[in-house]
Amino acid sequence: MRALAVQAFAHSERAARALADALGAPFDPIGLHVFPDEEILPAVPTPARTVIVYEPLDHPNSKLIRLLLTADAWRRSGVERLVLVAPYLCYLRQDAVFAPGQPLSRDVIGGLLGPRFDRIVTVDAHLHRTEDISAVFGGARVDNLSAAPALAEAIGGAGAAPLVLGPDRESAPWVQALAALLGGDSVVLSKTRIGDGMVEFDFGDLGRVEGRRVVIVDDVCSSGGTVLRLAARLSQAGAARIEFAVVHALFGEAVRRRMGEAGIARVVSTDSITHPTNAAPLAGLLAAALKDERAP
C-alpha cells in the first residue's frame, strides 16, 4: 500500500492537485455516483496508509453527507490515517446560542467531523468566541492556519504602505499581522451586528484615512453588508484608494458588482473557496503544515 495520497472530488480537483504537487504526493480523484432520487454513492480510489482529503466546506449541506459516506469507505478500504484539509470550515459562525431555540452549530459540526478524521487542517476558522478549536472536534488535532502571508503577497506592498482596516475587535490579531507584513499601520473598528446583513460601526476618528490607500480585511464575506458600509464611509473620509482582502469569499457576482460601484478598486481573496477574486493561493501554506504527513 502507498504511504500517502491526496484525494478529492471533481469540484476541488484543481486546488487539490496544487496541494499534491506542493507535497510531492500523488493525486487521486474520488468517484461519485448520483441516483435518481439524489442519494449519492462515493467510490474511493486505491487506498494509501495516509489519505489527505481536500474538501472546502462552502455550500456545505450536500458536501457533508458526501464526506461522511466517503470517510466510511476510506476506513473500510484500509486507510489508517485520514487528514481532512478544509480551508473553509462550515457552521462555525454559530459558536454560541444567540437566541432561544437556536442550535449550537459549532458543536454539531465538531461531533460529525472530529470522530472521523485523525487531523483537520483549516484556515482562519470563523470562531470568535472559542479559544481552543481542538476541543470543538473532540480533542482531535486541528491546525488553524493564518492566511495573512498569502494575502499580503497578493495585496502587494508597492508604493506607499497601506492602512489596513479591520471591521471588528475579533479581526485585530490578523489585521495587525497583515499590516506588519505590508509595512503599514492598522486600525480596528468596533462593530455591532443588528441582523443578517445589518451592522453598525463606531468609526471613531478616521482622520488617518484621508489621502491613503486603505485595505479593508475580513475573514468571511457573504452578503457584503459590512464591506459596502465601510467603503461608503471611507470614501466620505477621503481615502485615495479602497481595496478589500478577504480570506473566505462566499459572496456572489451581484455583491461583487456592488463593491465596484461602491468605489472598491480591487477585491482579493484566497482560494479557500473557488471564486473569481482568487489571487492568494494556499497550496504552499497548507503543504508546509502537512509536511510531517510525508514521514514514513
Burial class (CB in 10 A: 0-12, 13-18, 19+), 266: middle
User: Looking at this protein, which amino acid is placed at residue 35?
Assistant: F
Cell numbers found for residue 224: 457584503
Indicate which residue of 63, 126, 191, 275 is catalytic: 191
Is 63 a residue of the active site? Answer: no
User: For residue 167, what are the contacts with CB-CB under 8 A and spacing of at least 6?
Assistant: 189, 191, 199, 201, 216, 218, 226, 227, 230
> In this structure, what C-alpha cell is assigned to residue 30?
474520488
272 within 8 A of 282, measured Cβ to Cβ: yes
Could you tell me which residues are beta bridge partners of residue 242? 214, 264
With residue 287 as reference, give the H or E element that holds it. helix 283-289
140 vs 42: CA distance, rounded Å = 25
What is the Cα–Cα distance from 184 to 159, expressed in whole angstroms?
11
Q: How far is 242 from 244, CA to CA, in rounded Å? A: 7
Q: How many C-beta neighbours within 10 Å does residue 46 have?
A: 11
Buried b (16+ CB within 10 A) or exposed e, 6-17: bbbbeebeebbb
Radius of gyration of the chain (CA): 20
Q: Which residues are catalytic?
A: 191
